[in-house]
A and B are shown apart, each in its own frame.
Chain A
Amino acid sequence: MSQTDLEIVVDDPTAPEENSPSVTISGTVEIIVCLLLLVLAAILGYDNWRTGASWDSTGPEPGYFPFYLSVILAGGSLYGLIVALVARRGAAETFVTRAQARRVTKVFVPTLLFCLVTQFLGLYVASFLLIAGFMRLVGKIALWKSLLTAFLFTAIMFVTFDIAFDVIMPKGPLEAAFGY
């Protein structure tokens, strides 16, 4: 079979629709980020000042270098804040549309849950649940395919890391029941 010009088409059933209304604009996000960075710079700057940001008999104190860095960070974010505030009056660029935000949530929430489950039930159980759940619920892939893929991937990871390379992952009650 000649493959030279066979077309590969992958359709994405969950592709975002065009013209979805915008949730926030980049300018607003930029302002929030700059404000957060300013707060962070202030907290870190204060902590370094407390540790000691001046000179003593041996040279600069531990807080010296990071203190001035937090000053630079504060300066950069303040400038960014002003630029963003001034630019706000101009054209508004969409940060994320509603359809996009929905899609990002669809992958972010499972990831968050995965981290939570890892904390309590161990990484491998969490991995199985994440892959099977994501494929079935978000990807609308057949249940048996989802379960099989999740099981195979998790098993391969377990053999590769915990057995072959001696890299030990967090485990929960299930692994304990099998004696690991």
Chain B
Amino acid sequence: MEAFGLLLHGFAVLLTWKTLALMMIGLVLGIFVGVLPGLGGPNGVAILLPLTFTMDPTSAIVMLSCIYWGALFGGAITSILFNIPGEAWSVATTFDGYPMAQQGRAAEALTAAFTSSFIGSLVAVLLITFLAPMISSFALKFGPPEFFAVYLLTFCSFVGLGREAKHKTVISMSLGLLLAGVGMDTVSGQLRMTFGSSELLRGINFLVAVIGLFGISEILLTMEERLALRGHAASISLRVVLSVWKDLPKYWVTLLRSSFIGCWLGITPGGAIAASFMGYNLAKRFAKDPESFGKGRIEGVFAPETAAHASGTSALLPMLALGIPGSGTAAILLGGLMVWGLNPGPLLFVEHKDFVWGLIASMYLGNVVGLVLVLTTVPIFASILRVPFAAVAPMIVVSCAIGAYAIQNAMFDIWLMLGFGVVGYVFKKIGIALAPFTLALVLGNRAEDAFRLSMIGSGGDLKVFWSNGLVGSITTLAIVLLFWPAIDALLGRVRWTQRTRATSC
């Protein structure tokens, strides 16, 4: 049980007043960000990242990951009380959460949401604790071809398994990879795609793009659609909490199933959104009376929330172990690691033990503290929505600008952020997903380096990606996933013809 000892060490790193205080600040900011319309997990983390530039990496990541947990908790508040999902992954929570609030069972629904979020993350953190060190020590044997194959797998699974139109995912991803290449070439030192501009020399910073794409564009979208809000205020009493917890064992199958789905979808870059819907749909399918879903059934809150949080948390597993983020927010945390001078990837577990185990320990602690915090402070946070949007919107714009400027102290980045804001707004409206773009932008240079190093090693022979069993099977899997929709359709047709033949005989 080496992991257990290291985890205890992580708690020891964490248990100082300063870190605990940062944790509380992070959680409060996170819930705030999750509740406010026009801000969410990814941009909240991106905007607040500059605050951490002068901190040591461990305090910085503890604060940032707590912002993330807070945002995950916060999304549930607005979806249950106001029927407005603060985040896309809270959409499924509104199906049964809002009807419960309408029936005057808001406190019950909120308790259920927070508790199941907690359970989902806990399962995922346990998975990270024991699986991440194993994967990373395995990945230490990886050379450039293996790494490129893993990157390829990430990109291909986005295209093949995503719900959006395939060509739109391809556009979003190749654009991200291209923009990642702007500036100085890391291998040869030559300039690329700068067109003689000294501003472009620095390259297009990933975090600036994220702040524009998510922060500014979200303000534009919110302003466009915002209608009057009508919702319920609620405070949670201890009696309600205990009665919900008493019934918890009854729903163990739902909770376990959703945790499982969440962990799986979080590790593969499918995301929390898919997980929450899948958790909900499966709970509905396996229920004895599916028609009672959507009318305020507590399981309809348990299922999607558990899955969304399990997936949001387990998205950090590939980020820690391989340096490949499983979600947009994980990608931003990865960007943070690079800013603090850490090199994400399997070596992290060897070279920065304090950091990694401090982070994992903070996931346990942050979730417990977060649960207590949201259960006690719901009324305060719900009242944030009474603040007029006309006051909130300009403040978010200013925060975005501060965040964008602070990264490289460049005025040009503020303009870049504005540009990405417009791009994000238009892309969202015509259904080009932004997550592949984000992922490509953060991984672009690393993927290219891995590709070029393997090409140099093999003398330009593409067979290097099939040179041994490991790299070969990853590459093949990547290609299968890329063409998965076509393969799936083909298999379906084969099965169909067989069945028709069997019936006609």
Q: Which residues on A are within 8 Å of B, measured CB to CB?
A: 3-12, 15-16, 26, 29-30, 33, 37, 40, 44, 47-48, 51, 55, 58-66, 69-70, 72-73, 75-77, 79-80, 83, 95-96, 100, 103-104, 106-108, 110-112, 114-115, 118-119, 123, 126-127, 130-131, 134-135, 138-141, 149, 153-154, 157, 160-161, 165-170
Contact = CB atoms under 8 A, between A and B. Distances in A.
Nearest to A170: B411
A33 B192 contact: no
Contact of A80 (B168, B220, B232): B168
Contacts, number: 227
Q: Is the interface of A mostly helix, strand, loop or mixed?
A: helix
A66 B178 contact: yes
Given A69-B178, A123-B402, 6 more contacts: A11-B228, A12-B389, A51-B192, A66-B181, A83-B165, A114-B401
Contacts of B388: 10, 135, 139, 141
B430 A26 contact: yes
Contact of B227 (A12, A69, A96): A12
A160 B50 CA distance: 11
A135 B389 CA distance: 9
Contact of B395 (A47, A115, A131): A131
7 nearest CB pairs, A to B: A139-B390, A59-B456, A10-B229, A76-B171, A76-B170, A73-B174, A62-B185
A136 to B, nearest CB: 9
Interface string B438-474: 0000000000100110011000100000000000000
B402 A141 contact: no
B154 to A, nearest CB: 16
Contact of A37 (B51, B175, B386, B422): B175
Contacts of A44: 178, 193
Contacts of B415: 115
A5 B104 contact: yes
B229 A30 contact: no
B340 interface: no
Contact of A131 (B191, B193, B391): B391
Contacts of B167: 76, 79-80, 83
A7 B452 contact: no
Contact of A111 (B406, B418, B427): B418
7 contacts: A3-B234, A100-B225, A114-B397, A119-B414, A141-B388, A165-B54, A167-B54
Nearest to A137: B390
Contacts of A154: 398
Contacts of B81: 8
B429 interface: yes
Interface in B16-34: none
Contacts of B229: 8-10, 12
A80 B231 CA distance: 41
A22 B402 CA distance: 35
Contacts of B460: 55, 59-60
